[in-house]
Amino acid sequence: MRFPRSAGVLVHPTSFPSPFGLGDLGPSAKVFLDFLYDTQHTIWQVLPLGPTGYGYSPYASYSAFAGNPYLISPEILQQKGLLTQKELSAHSLSSTMEADYERGFKVRDDLYKIAEQRFFEKTDAKTKKLWEAFLKDNRSWLNDFVLFMACGKAHGFIPWNQWESGLAKRSVDSLEKVKKQYETEIRYQTWLQFEFFQQWSSLKAYANSLGIRVIGDIPIFVDHNSADVWANPSYFEVDKAGNRVKVAGVPPDYFSETGQLWGNPLYRWKVLEKANYDWWVERFRQMFTLFDAIRVDHFRGFDAYWEVPASEKTAENGKWVKGPGSKLFKTILKELGELPILAEDLGFVTASVEALRDEFAFPGMKILQFAFDSDATNAFLPHNFPQNSVVYTGTHDNDTSIGWYTTAPEVEKHRVRVYTRSDGSEIQWELIRLGMLSVADQAIIPLQDYMNLGGEHRMNFPGTIGGNWIWRYTPEMLSSVNRDRIRQLIELGNRRSEG
């Protein structure tokens, strides 16, 4: 589908201000949406909202379907009568520009357990009906997920293939045993998912009421230590004991002599095809319920993916294997109808990847920070954009625009100054202007660039462990954004909302 000419902001909920260690779906989220409305934006783009595992990365989740319970707002729970103001005050933390996941998780766990107990004590007929509808509508994944989380918690979240054999292999007797053994934890995990989806649904409805579309994110691969692989091992490249056999990565290139070994188990696409891609259909169904559109990460992997034996230490000894291609998307289109998808088509993109993207008219991505490392034929320069594309100054994997310019080679600095006819002193605004005035249907700006922030405020350093996903802003930082300047650029670029 074609998207309207529009502008948006990229920021993840964990970056919102909050007195509970990390941002969530509470009052600060609505303040941010009001900012979008006031500045004529009509898009909010987020990273994946699944429950995070090791390293707190949104791209390493315990589930492709579930929500991150730590995005549940304690303040909304208080508004619902499930917590008291005294309890909130006793568990509040000082708000900083870095997420404190360890302390945040602890205080939230304490509050959530109090709220869950009161929920089941106070449930009225209307809420009970919502609860039952939630259980019914999400039965395809929910029961396996909450059981996985209960078992994972009991085992210290070691990989599920290291659990006792019967449970790892999902024998009927073992499953029945743990369902009874962990009954209390299973109910708690189910309530967390119910509350997450209640809060997210309400927030998305508020965004939509302001004329704002929410763009989500689907990582193509799932984590090995996830409910998805444990519950559906036949769909993934794992052996009978659950050990990975073939894993994902990318081959050696200019950036890495040994490539990148991601370690996610690859899909058994032939098995999935025989099942009419049912797991993928349900995954997209879920995402289209949660979001108005979806960015599909590593889109090229659907055309061909880099397969590496799990025994390898690097990604060097892999090979390209043909992916499901258009068969998958035709099936999803048939089952679900219109596909509001954005294709993350960065990196090594072949003609067949472009053909797959264009067959379904998925817009690709254009990153302005990539535009100045070569000559005028560079595909990331605005004069080379196709209209059906999404332009970013940078993404969550890039530096802020100020950080990028500060550390860029002098030849790139020179090119961007010549291209923008500027001295580079406000490079973030020069790139924002390029994006807004470009032919690309959608222009999405990381919030850090509107805030004039340097590289110390970037969200992620790809290929590194630790120190990622922690950036947050303060209420004062949002208040200080030059809203008039944004509105002028959106008006000039004909990206103004109709509201």
Q: Average pLDDT for residues 480-492, to the nearest whole number?
A: 98
Rounded CA Rg of the chain: 23
Q: Is the pLDDT of residue 255 over 70?
A: no
Q: Average pLDDT for residues 334-351, to the nearest whole number?
A: 94
* CA–CA dist 38, 349 (Å, integer): 38
Question: DSSP per residue over 280-334, as a string?
Answer: HHHHHHHHHHH-SEEEETTGGGGTEEEEEETT-SSSTT-EEEE--THHHHHHHHH
Question: DSSP per residue over 423-442, as a string?
Answer: -STTHHHHHHHHHHHSS-SE
Instruction: Name the 3-class secondary structure at 7.
Output: strand
Q: What per-residue confidence (pLDDT) applies to 314?
A: 94
Give the CA angle between residues 395, 397, 399 to the nearest 5°: 80
Structure tokens at 463: 């290929």
**In 14-44, which positions are buried (b, 16+ CB within 10 angstroms) versus exposed (e)?**
bbbbbbbbbbbbbebbbebbebbbebbbbbb
Residue in 134, 113, 94 with CA at minimum distance from that of residue 184? 113
Q: Average pLDDT for residues 168-181, to the nearest whole number?
A: 97
Which amino acid type is present at position 167? L
CATH superfamily of 6-492: Glycosidases (3.20.20.80)
Q: What per-residue confidence (pLDDT) applies to 2?
A: 79
* CA–CA dist 347, 379 (Å, integer): 12
Q: What is the pLDDT of residues 198-210, one digit of tens each?
A: 999 999 999 999 9
Q: Is the pLDDT of residue 289 over 60?
A: yes
Neighbours of 234 (CB within 10 A): 10
Q: Average pLDDT for residues 51-60, to the nearest whole number?
A: 92
Q: Is the pLDDT of residue 15 over 90?
A: yes
Q: What is the pLDDT of residues 75-105, one digit of tens each?
A: 999 999 999 999 999 999 987 889 999 999 9
Q: Average pLDDT for residues 385-411, to the nearest whole number?
A: 98
Q: What share of the chain is helix, strand, coil (3-state, %, to 5)?
A: 45, 15, 40
* CA–CA dist 164, 186 (Å, integer): 19
Q: What per-residue confidence (pLDDT) applies to 468?
A: 95
Q: What is the pLDDT of residues 433-455, one digit of tens each?
A: 999 999 999 999 999 999 999 99
Q: What per-residue confidence (pLDDT) applies to 498?
A: 62
Q: What is the pLDDT of residues 123-155, one digit of tens each?
A: 889 999 999 999 999 999 999 999 999 999 999
Spatial contact of 259 and 315, defined as CB atoms under 8 Å apart: yes
Residue in 98, 103, 101, 217 with CA at minimum distance from that of residue 458? 98
Q: Is the pLDDT of residue 480 over 80?
A: yes
Mean pLDDT of the chain: 96
Q: What per-residue confidence (pLDDT) applies to 194?
A: 98
Q: What is the pLDDT of residues 295-314, one digit of tens each?
A: 999 999 999 999 999 999 99
Spatial contact of 122 and 114, defined as CB atoms under 8 Å apart: no
Q: Average pLDDT for residues 234-249, to the nearest whole number?
A: 97
**In 70-87, which positions are buried (b, 16+ CB within 10 angstroms) versus exposed (e)?**
bbbbbbbbbebebbeeeb
Which residues are the active-site residues? 297, 344, 397
Q: How confident is the model at residue 18 (pLDDT cuts 50, 70, 90)?
A: very high
Which amino acid type is present at position 361? A
Structure tokens at 22: 């990390």
Q: How confident is the model at residue 466 (pLDDT cuts 50, 70, 90)?
A: confident
Pick the residue with more confidence: 256 or 151? 151
Instruction: Return the domain boundaries, the chain.
Output: 6-492
Instruction: Name the 3-class secondary structure at 444.
Output: strand
Q: Is the pLDDT of residue 499 over 70?
A: no
Instruction: Name the 3-class secondary structure at 72.
Output: coil
**In 343-360, which positions are buried (b, 16+ CB within 10 angstroms) versus exposed (e)?**
bbbbeebeeebeebbeee
* CA–CA dist 469, 15 (Å, integer): 8
Instruction: Name the 3-class secondary structure at 191.
Output: helix
